[in-house]
């Protein structure tokens, strides 16, 4: 499974990229607003930090305007993936941009039917939102399972990758990996939580306490 960082915080992304665990980045207008900086400056910096796809979202709602914005975003760097909403106009924009060779991430997917349309429109990625479905009493992971199952039925036809979004906790990542989704986009705090376990911390504390009792030093020795 590929890990994308869901953030527009350049310092945070840089720190996580240094681990070698990051395969790409996703941004959206809300994340860019939190960064409080010029959008294109942030996008250029992120694209320079990350070798993999960097999703940048259009803000227009009409197809022609989305296509124009998508072309401008794609011109920023070769690894930009243009993000469009899963609306009728978004699907039209996806088709036009993907046919022109631009990678497209179709976002705000909440049903298997929508995911089928995204694949038909040529999406590079489709982003189903698991956390937001969980918030309203639905099973977000059931949606991931359905989309992965459908896409696997057409291995020679559908190349769209399932990009699990709205991830709220480590089990979302684990469950998505079990199902076989190709990508998870993960908030920095959740990505760090993946490495945490109380028994790891407890075991390390015990090892260090025992080593301290020996009075030895690996470096000095």
- Residues 115 and 148: beta-carbon distance below 8 Å: no
The H or E element containing residue 4 is: strand 2-6
Q: Looking at the predicted structure, is the pLDDT value of residue 221 above 80? A: no
Q: Looking at the predicted structure, is the pLDDT value of residue 138 above 90? A: yes
The whole-angstrom separation of Cα 19 and Cα 187 is 15
Q: Which residues contact 104 (CB under 8 A, 6 or more apart)?
A: 70, 81, 82, 83, 84, 93, 94, 97, 98, 122, 123, 124, 125
Q: Has residue 212 been placed in a domain?
A: no
User: CATH number, domain at 152?
Assistant: 3.20.20.70
Model confidence over 51-100: pLDDT tens digits?
999 999 999 999 999 999 999 999 999 999 999 999 999 999 999 999 99
The whole-angstrom separation of Cα 101 and Cα 104 is 9
Residues marked active site are found at 83
What is the pTM assigned to this prediction?
0.94
Range of the domain at 93: 2-196
Q: Has residue 211 been placed in a domain?
A: no
Sign, CA torsion 194/109/124/53: negative
Q: Has residue 98 been placed in a domain?
A: yes
Q: Has residue 204 been placed in a domain?
A: no
Model confidence over 162-191: pLDDT tens digits?
999 999 999 999 999 999 999 999 999 999
The whole-angstrom separation of Cα 156 and Cα 87 is 26
Domain tally, the chain: 1
Q: Has residue 89 been placed in a domain?
A: yes
């Amino acid at each position: 499974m590929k890990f994308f960082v869901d953030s527009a915080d350049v310092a945070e992304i840089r720190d996580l990229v240094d681990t070698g665990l990051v395969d790409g980045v996703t941004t959206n207008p809300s994340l860019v607003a939190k960064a409080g900086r010029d959008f294109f400056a942030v996008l250029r910096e992120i694209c320079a930090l990350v070798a993999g796809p960097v999703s940048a979202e259009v803000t227009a709602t009409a197809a022609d305007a989305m296509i124009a914005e998508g072309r401008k975003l794609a011109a920023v760097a070769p690894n930009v993936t243009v993000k469009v909403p899963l609306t009728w106009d978004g699907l039209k924009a996806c088709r036009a941009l993907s046919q022109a060779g631009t990678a497209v991430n179709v976002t705000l997917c909440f049903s298997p039917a929508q995911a089928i349309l995204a694949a038909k429109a040529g999406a590079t990625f489709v982003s189903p939102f698991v956390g937001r479905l969980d918030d309203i009493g639905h099973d977000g992971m059931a949606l991931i399972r359905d989309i992965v199952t459908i896409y696997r039925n057409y291995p020679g036809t559908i190349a769209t990758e399932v990009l699990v979004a709205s991830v709220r906790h480590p089990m979302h990542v684990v469950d998505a990996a079990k199902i076989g989704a190709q990508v998870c986009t993960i908030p920095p705090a959740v990505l760090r939580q993946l490495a945490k376990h109380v028994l790891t911390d407890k075991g390390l504390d015990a090892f260090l306490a025992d080593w301290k009792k020996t009075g030895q030093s690996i470096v000095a020795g």
